[in-house]
Amino acid sequence: MNRAEAQQRILDLSNQINYYNQRYYQDSVSEISDFAFDQLLHELIALETQFPELKADDSPSQRVGGTITKTFETVTHKYPMLSLGNTYSQEELIDFDTRIQKGLDGDSYEYISELKFDGVAISLTYDNRKLVRAVTRGDGTRGDNITANAKTIRSIPLKLPDNAYAGEFEVRGEVFMPRSVFDQINKEKEDIGEAPLANPRNAASGTLKMQDSSIVAQRKLDCYLYSFLCDEKLANTHEEALHLLEQWGFQVSPTYRKCADIQAVMQYISEWETKRLELPLDTDGIVIKINQYQQQEELGFTAKSPRWAISYKYKAQSASTRLNGITYQVGRTGAITPVAELAPVLLAGTTVKRASLHNANEIARLDLRIGDHVWVEKGGEIIPKVTGVDLSQRQADSQSFVFTKNCPVCGRELIRYDDEAVHYCPNHYHCAPQVRGRVIHFVSRRAMNIDSLGEETINTFFNEGFIRNISDIYSLEANSSQLIGVEIDSKEYTHTHNLFLSLTLPKTLFGILHPCKPKDKTTLKNITDHIIQPEDLKSAKEFIDFDFNQLKNSSSSIIDRLTSFQAFLTLFADTCEIQNEDDIPISITISFILNLSRIETETLLETSKGKRNIYHLLSELKNRDLSLYDKIQDALASNTAIKESIQKLKNTTLQKKSIEAIIGGIEASKQQSFDKVLFGLGIRHIGETSAKILAYHFKNIDNLINADWQTLEEVDGIGEIMAKSIQYYFNDDENIHIINELKRHNLKLEIDNASSSDLLESTKLSGLKILTSGTLQNFTREQFISVVEKNGGEYLKSVSKKLSFIVAGEDMGPTKRQKAIKDGIKIITESDFLKLLEN
């Protein structure tokens, strides 16, 4: 095919693929099979590979991804993505309707009601009928540019038809992972022994921020569009705008409805309360909007949200289930959080097994007892919580729950500070969850911003001894050669009752059968699915007893491989007591792959007791039996098939590129300002604002270390509790050692001229906790928060007795005003606030 022929064929294929996409997503019609569709796409990709100069930015081949994005550019939204006010009651909806009537001076109006989808908000910009940019919501003002990933979502048009508007405009919607896709991904993960994804929304959010767009394409995300924004007026109502989007090939959920009045809205809410659970995706409420754009403009906005729209949240669904036990989590500050372990119960579309109980006081308030049947709700349909006990089902011999006196991890006796409900473990430097938690806090975006160091990687480095405190992060570069091949810790691994490190049968077969992988498109997973399909083949013992000759559809090489492994496993059945186990010891699997002797296998078995993963096992073997360790390493180095088979058993391993990314992120963090480092240290009671105040006041870490209690307490914004906490931290020799190590690695432990201007303008508001309500004349909400923080104050997000005062703007919320008056909180005007800043 010459260039001209290829150009025409590429055009024809693109038009066909776009047509079939439009028929599927807009008309719900599948004119061709998935296989036929994929064949067209593969032909297009092949031609574009052969003639790369003919590949267009809006080619359907963008759907398969392949772009690697190391960092996501921050983009300022042309039109801010504001949040909506929420309500859970129909009475408040009536109040909203009353405000609409008043705001429109009695003019007639109508609503549009739409389902509120539980996904990730996205903004799509089109120009000249082509998708030019896709941005996440971010903080509403700025978001991340995820264009490469958005192009893989097939329901998002890359190119619009000729009848679409050719100028620049913006479309907004919700990216989601369909429940069917979510369930399928989790099934596949479970089949090969990987940990399942948590929920569809988090899965969609995490997928959109993946660096490799080809992986994003495999996740099959979807998108509903619901908003149109343009400088040119192309529609008079929201309903007309939705019709335009539908005509231009955007996927709009057909569930929206125009409602003549608030009573029709109520009917819509009632209709969808249970019907929404039948949809292919999760929802978390209803959005109600004024239909006419002119009336939307008349009603306007508060600093935070539009006055012409509101979100109605369905009341949390509740369910009754058995409390099987109470376990404990240890946080980075040593705080102990009790967790309810529940009999699995279906709640708002997901299975709930655990719920936070907050502290010992909450357990006492509910009078929880093991074996109780408790009521569980999902706050906002997301976070499960125990709300009460069904006393009618309480057992007569039940005992009151006694909160633990000792740390569940390190065993140290717990302490409880005056006026606090939380128990703490005081073993700060040797209690593993605390150490790991402080490191995770230190690398977080708000502190040192080391994105390349994730929580699982930190846990691995801690377990393998590379990190013992936050300063050890900066020694990783010196140990980088030792990091290659390190296996990221995973919940895939199990231990038998006699502590042998083990893997599930499917995961084991995945590694065993790798050399038998066929050359055609049949995947290894297809084979293992077929093998473990029989109902009587679920455990190690059943594997030993199984007759593999009945697998008529499997090749002789596969059956021979399985039979050989079966015989090898039988040799160790008594030693491992396999008849009592579901999973298979990793040592036996590795020995089979490597063709080790019985004595070598028994050595490997004994070494595997209590180990976390294969990397940990082989590291320990180096100390126990160097000759066997060297034999295994030689086999891995010289035989690709053996190396690949064992790699199939492992979780993710660190390789050169990922290690370089980690080291690069660590090096870049050395440019973070003094206040960021100070916040990252994790000093109890010292947040971002107080870290800025301290950095601005003391200029460097040594001045802060040497400050006495009286000097600390005299700093505006630093009270008695903070002063004691700072002194306690710096009186500890271990902390001083960490500070000295951070100095040695050239972190910024003093402010310079460049960073001091970003810290504070003054301390005029130090120690003050401030909130605003209503529309301000001189500030947007974001500007007001910035002014408060730049002058040393702290902005709170809700009415609290901790507030120093509330700045009341126009149309201050009546609920906030009433609560403030009830709690005796001072209310001042915007003019009063400006005078306070001047003085």
Q: Which residues are annotated as a binding site?
A: 34-38, 83-84, 114, 137, 174, 289, 313, 407, 410, 431
Residue 599 vs residues 468, 508, 603, 614, 754: alpha-carbon distances, Å = 36, 21, 6, 19, 65
Q: What is the three-class DSSP state of 644?
A: helix
Q: Which residue has the tokens 């009917």?
A: 267
Q: Which of 518, 505, 540 is nearest to 649 (CA)?
A: 505
Q: Are 157 and 201 in contact (CB under 8 A)?
A: no
| Alpha helices, DSSP H, located in 358-403 | 360-366
Give the span between the Cα atoms of 43 and 51, in whole angstroms. 12
Residue 167 vs residues 223, 226, 243: alpha-carbon distances, Å = 23, 19, 18
The residues with which 50 forms a beta bridge, in sequence order, are none
Q: Which helix (H) or strand (E) holds 769?
A: strand 769-773
The residues with which 806 forms a beta bridge, in sequence order, are 771, 827
Residue 77 vs residues 210, 254, 397: alpha-carbon distances, Å = 21, 27, 61
Retrieve residue 498's tokens. Answer: 């006699």
Question: Phi and psi for 344 in degrees, rounded to 5?
Answer: -50, 135
Give the span between the Cα atoms of 340 and 342, in whole angstroms. 6
Phi-psi region of 129 (alpha: psi -120 to 50; beta: other; left: phi over 0): left
Rounded to the nearest 10 degrees, what angle do helices 626-638 and 598-607 cross at? 100
DSSP state of 436: H
Question: Phi and psi for 184 in degrees, rounded to 5?
Answer: -65, -45
Q: Are 142 and 76 in contact (CB under 8 A)?
A: yes
- β-pairing, 373-379 with 383-389? antiparallel
Residue 591 vs residues 80, 497, 573, 617, 635: alpha-carbon distances, Å = 60, 21, 14, 13, 12
Q: Which of 514, 524, 526, 555 is nearest to 639 (CA)?
A: 514
Residue type, 274: T
- β-pairing, 805-808 with 826-829? parallel
Q: Which of 834, 839, 722, 719 is nearest to 788 (CA)?
A: 834
**Catalytic machinery residues:** 116
The residues with which 383 forms a beta bridge, in sequence order, are 379
Chain-centre distance for alpha carbon 815: 33
Distance between first and last Cα of the chain: 79
Residue 293 CB neighbours (<10 A): 16
Q: What is the three-class DSSP state of 125?
A: strand
The residues with which 340 forms a beta bridge, in sequence order, are 326, 355
Retrieve residue 394's tokens. Answer: 């309480």
Residues in binding site for Zn(2+): 407, 410, 431
